[in-house]
Amino acid sequence: MSGVLKDKVFIGNVGKLFGSSFIAQLIPFGVLPVLTRIYSPEDFGFWAYFLSISGIFSILMTGNYEFAIVLPKDDDEALNVTAGALLITVMFFIAGLIIFPFFTGITFALWICVMGLSMALFRISSYWNNRCNRFGKIGTGNISRSFSASAVQLFNGFYFFKNYSGLASGSVIGYMTGTAVQSAGLAGKFASAKGAVSRKRILSSASRYKKFPKYFMPAEFLNFVSTSVPVLFLTNLFDAAVTGLYSVPHKFINTPLTMLGSSISQAYFKKTNDLKNAGHDLGYTTADIYKKLLMLGIVPLSIIAGYGDIIFGFLLGPQWKMSGVYAALLAPWMLMVFVASPISIVFATLEKQEISLKLNALLLSVRVLSFVIGGIVFRNALLAVFLFGASGFVYWLYFSFYVIKVSGGSRKDIVLFSVSRLIFIMLPVILSRSLLNV
């Protein structure tokens, strides 16, 4: 039995987050066929654009100090890190309210600032609960966020805003609800530790973990921007309907995978930090998790890669069949993102954020080049998405091998494991489409 599977605490934490993530994603997964029959591809396109801008802003708001909350051995220091993250978030929120209206309408600027604030507070409270091993509360927060967002979007679609505002307002209320559920313990901790938090200690903690805003935040920013490249380019080069057709498979497939991967990442982050503090090797644990994730995702995403248009046309309605084509092109990339993203947090554990920054800068360049070639040169949305998915697949495959090496694992073993599974599992499923002639 593998070392990871023997660790009952780690498995318990992953189980809590996995179970809650499954429920949290089952809700929007269940209502999506209804939403696609209420809202148009244009509405989904504008919604995706709104979430992309808000997500980019939310990363800047915290300086990525939320990741540092888990690291201190002393709870008082962790509380000061958290206080610093909250203060930075509030300052960015106020600055956004002042600056954004000069570039967008006042209403859209307000929506962006509130959504960014909600996302930032959700992450901060989540990592505090991670530190305190309150993985059940993280799960409850995820479920509350998902349920409230879906409920509001359905309610708006039937009774109020039958446009992208109905989708956007649901997202805002969802994150607010999830934050309220997760932050109860944190608020109590601040109330009971009045003397532990001070301006001097906040500044000291901010200085101690300055690599997070200096390297990790730009890396996360670049990664999120590069992930948002399709939405930003498709909206501006083509139209919101094309963006909507792209964004639905992203929501239908990649968002659930990302949430599951995030749950595993949080538990893995805590595990590797404990191992590092105890002077143990991280390589075996990292490689073991990588293999489990690859085997978990390869079969369903192989089916999407081979039969995406059929699946999406049946589940979401005929007008969304093209979304299935996009999903098929993106499936191999989605697989490698699902596998590699959770273990990439090892750069934070080892405090090698500068490596992450360089890699994410490279990824952004490759993705922008894909859309420059496909979108600007050839003016073909399908080609642009294909180049985006293909280059992303190659990058994340290499990235996985590099992470294993940095963590101390055997890169040769991972290369053989990955290539053999891709050739003998994914490729035959994709090729079966032509053999069955469907």
Judge whether residue 214 has pLDDT over 90. Answer: no
Domain span at residue 18 reads 1-27+250-438
Distance separating alpha carbons of residues 370 and 399, to the nearest angstrom: 18
**Is residue 32 in a domain?**
no
Distance separating alpha carbons of residues 314 and 184, to the nearest angstrom: 42
Q: 20 with 70, same domain? A: no
Higher pLDDT, 129 or 345: 129
Q: 139 with 20, same domain? A: no
**Is residue 110 in a domain?**
yes
Distance separating alpha carbons of residues 13 and 22, to the nearest angstrom: 14
Q: 284 with 179, same domain? A: no
**Is residue 220 in a domain?**
no
- Given a contact cutoff of 8 angstroms between Cβ atoms, the answer to whether 343 and 403 are in contact is yes
Judge whether residue 17 has pLDDT over 80. Answer: no
Higher pLDDT, 11 or 349: 349
Q: 10 with 54, same domain? A: no
Confidence of residue 438 (pLDDT cuts 50, 70, 90): low
- Number of structural domains the chain divides into: 2
Distance separating alpha carbons of residues 417 and 437, to the nearest angstrom: 31
The two structure tokens encoding residue 17? 């987050």
- Report the share of the chain in percent with pLDDT over 90: 46
Q: Which amino acid is at 255?
A: T
- Per-residue pLDDT averaged across 89-93, rounded? 96
Judge whether residue 1 has pLDDT over 50. Answer: no
Judge whether residue 195 has pLDDT over 60. Answer: yes
Q: 297 with 168, same domain? A: no
Q: 45 with 126, same domain? A: yes
Q: 260 with 385, same domain? A: yes
Q: 204 with 265, same domain? A: no
Q: 285 with 365, same domain? A: yes
**Is residue 221 in a domain?**
no
**Is residue 232 in a domain?**
no
pLDDT tens sequence across 272-313: 777 777 777 788 888 888 999 999 999 999 999 999 999 998
pLDDT tens sequence across 147-193: 999 999 999 998 887 888 999 999 999 999 999 998 887 877 887 87
Looking at 180, 209, 238, the residue that finishes a domain is: 209
Find, among 330, 338, 340, the residue nearest to 304 by Cα: 330
Looking at 152, 176, 209, the residue that finishes a domain is: 209
Can you give the pLDDT at residue 144? 93
**Is residue 240 in a domain?**
no
**Is residue 193 in a domain?**
yes
Judge whether residue 134 has pLDDT over 90. Answer: no
Q: 265 with 340, same domain? A: yes
Can you give the pLDDT at residue 294? 94
Q: What average pLDDT is seen over the chain?
A: 87
Judge whether residue 12 has pLDDT over 70. Answer: no
Other Cβ atoms closer than 10 A to 202: 20
Can you give the pLDDT at residue 437? 67
The sign of the torsion formed by the CA atoms of 232, 238, 241, 244 equals negative
The predicted model scores a pTM of: 0.80
Find, among 31, 264, 17, the residue nearest to 157 by Cα: 31
DSSP tag of 234: H
Confidence of residue 8 (pLDDT cuts 50, 70, 90): low
Looking at 149, 182, 209, the residue that finishes a domain is: 209
Distance separating alpha carbons of residues 245 and 316, to the nearest angstrom: 11
**Is residue 407 in a domain?**
yes
Q: 8 with 66, same domain? A: no
Q: 157 with 200, same domain? A: yes
